[in-house]
């Protein structure tokens, strides 16, 4: 079966692994949205070689116009007959500045709070609302009709409370808000067979902890200890390859009929985050 995928944020990390695995099947059409098209075209040519079924298109979550152009370009790549089977909202602003510091770090920094909260909400929430609105007509044209937002277990209240995660407040809050937006779209469109749901990719090694300073390493160690208490079988981050395999299994089986509409699940399809 030929399947059409549109994925945001494919320049690196999980997004790049998604386009790598999905475009391995020549019958699939894979459209990857990026901010830096020239750089990503080069990376694709160097690491994946020639893949005529993989199209890199410019699309910035902070620019409605660029997403509108990306939707128009996607339509012209697909032609009149095809729609988008899977829209995967993977791109995100990760807020490196708060990755390993608690909410108390910002006590005397109101302008940092304003700046980081604004950027994370603009990119991770508002940008994805625009993305969903603009690509929905193409999703509605397909037979599969699935929209998956890549969220994070860091936005799960039970996990935060169970192991006291103080880090990543603005990022986590923006992903929690994204989960709500996804549930709203899900409620709106499930009756016409469009499935919207949110999924965490797991804790994935995408190179972010390489070369971090000692205080961040200490914070990371505490976080890992917490995760071990939460999940005694936790053995550290998984690879992008493993994460994508899990996520594909989940989104293949997920359906409106089986009650997946609006859910927020892990890469295992449940609430086990690591
Ligand atoms: N890695 C993990 O452990 C983990 C855990 C939980 C959830 N997640 C989620 O998984 C997804 C991928 O994470 P990752 O680890 O692969 O991150 P990553 O390596 O930092 O990749 C993030 C991607 O998002 C793109 N992006 C950032 N801002 C953008 C914008 N304004 N418009 C369009 N694209 C933008 C980046 O493009 P540029 O190259 O242009 O910056 C990049 O392609 C994210 O949604 C993240 O929240 C990851």
Give me the pLDDT at residue 84, please: 98
Confidence (pLDDT) at 193:
98
Q: How far is the CA of 78 from the centre of ligand 1 (A)?
A: 25
- Which distant-in-sequence residues (6+ apart) come within 8 Å of 33 by Cβ? 6, 7, 8, 9, 10, 57, 58, 59, 70, 91
Instruction: Check if 17 has its Cβ closer than 6 Å to any atom of ligand 1.
Output: no
Rounded distance, CA 112 to CA 180, Å? 25
Summary mean pLDDT of the chain:
97
CA distances, 99 to each of 93, 172, 219, 223 (Å): 12, 10, 9, 11
> Region 198-211: what's the mean pLDDT?
96
* Cα distance between residue 55 and residue 6, in whole Å: 9
Tens-digit pLDDT profile for residues 217-239: 999 999 999 999 999 999 999 99
Q: Which of 6, 8, 10, 13 is the pocket-test mutation for ligand 1 (most atoms within 8 Å of CB)?
A: 13
Q: Are 92 and 9 in contact (CB under 8 A)?
A: yes
Give CATH for domain 4-265: 3.40.50.720
Give the model's pLDDT for residue 194. 98
Give pLDDT, residue 95: 87
| Ligand 1 close to Cβ of residue 201 (< 6 A) | yes
Q: Which two tokens stand for residue 30?
A: 């894979």
Q: What is the pLDDT of residue 123?
A: 98
Rounded to a whole number of angstroms, the CA Rg of the chain reads: 18
Q: Is the CB of 9 under 6 A from ligand 1?
A: yes
Per DSSP, helices labelled H in the chain are 13-22, 37-47, 64-78, 110-121, 127-140, 157-163, 169-189, 214-230, 240-253
Q: How far is the CA of 138 from the centre of ligand 1 (A)?
A: 23
Q: Could you report the per-residue pLDDT of 71-122, keeping only the tens digit for each?
A: 999 999 999 999 999 999 999 999 889 999 999 999 999 999 999 999 999 9
Q: Give tens-digit pLDDT for 30-80.
A: 999 999 999 999 999 999 999 999 999 999 999 999 999 999 999 999 999
Domain map of the chain by residue range? 4-265
Distance, CA of 125 to chain centre: 12
Place of tokens 């660029």: 66
Distances (CA, A) of 49 to 4, 117, 167, 226: 20, 39, 39, 41
pLDDT value for 131: 99
Closest ligand 1 atom to 36 CA:
40
pLDDT digits over 134-187, tens only? 999 999 999 999 999 999 999 999 999 999 999 999 999 999 999 999 999 999
Cα–Cα distance for residue pair 113/120, rounded to 1 Å: 11
249 pLDDT exceeds 80?
yes
Helices 13-22 and 37-47, axial angle in degrees (round to 10): 50
Encoding tokens for residue 225? 């200890």
The residues carrying an active-site annotation are 171, 175
Residue 260's pLDDT is what? Answer: 98
Give pLDDT, residue 114.
Answer: 97
Q: What is the pLDDT of residue 85?
A: 98
Rounded Cα gap, residues 246 and 203, in angstroms: 12
Q: Tell me the helix, strand and coil percentages in the chain, rounded to 5.
A: 50, 15, 35
Q: What does the alpha-carbon distance between residue 30 and residue 20 come to, in Å, rounded to a whole number?
A: 9
Structure tokens at 248: 């594909």
The pLDDT of residue 1: 76
């Amino acid at each position: 079966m030929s399947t059409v995928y549109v994925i945001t944020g494919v320049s690196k990390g999980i997004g790049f692994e998604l386009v790598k695995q999905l475009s391995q099947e020549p019958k699939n059409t894979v459209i990857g949205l990026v901010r830096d098209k020239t750089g990503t075209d080069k990376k694709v040519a160097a690491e994946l070689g020639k893949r005529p079924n993989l199209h890199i298109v410019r699309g910035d979550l902070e620019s409605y116009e660029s997403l509108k152009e990306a939707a128009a370009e996607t339509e012209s790549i697909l032609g009149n007959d095809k729609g988008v089977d899977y829209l995967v909202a993977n791109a995100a602003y990760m807020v490196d500045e708060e990755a390993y510091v608690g909410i108390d770090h910002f006590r005397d920094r109101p302008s940092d709070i304003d700046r980081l909260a604004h950027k994370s909400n603009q990119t991770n929430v508002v940008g994805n609302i625009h993305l969903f609105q603009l690509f929905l007509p193409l999703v509605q044209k397909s037979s599969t009709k699935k929209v998956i937002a890549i969220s994070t277990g860091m936005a799960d209240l039970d996990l935060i409370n169970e192991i006291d995660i103080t880090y990543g407040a603005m990022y986590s809050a923006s992903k929690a808000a994204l989960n709500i937006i996804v549930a709203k779209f899900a409620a709106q469109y499930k009756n016409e067979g469009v499935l919207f749901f949110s999924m965490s990719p797991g804790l994935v090694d995408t190179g972010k902890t390489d070369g971090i300073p000692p205080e961040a390493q200490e914070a990371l160690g505490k976080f890992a200890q917490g995760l071990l208490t939460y999940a005694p079988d936790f053995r550290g981050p998984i690879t992008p390859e493993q994460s994508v395999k899990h996520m594909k299994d989940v989104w293949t089986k997920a359906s409106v009929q089986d009650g997946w509409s609006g859910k927020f699940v892990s890469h295992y399809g449940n609430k086990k985050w690591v």
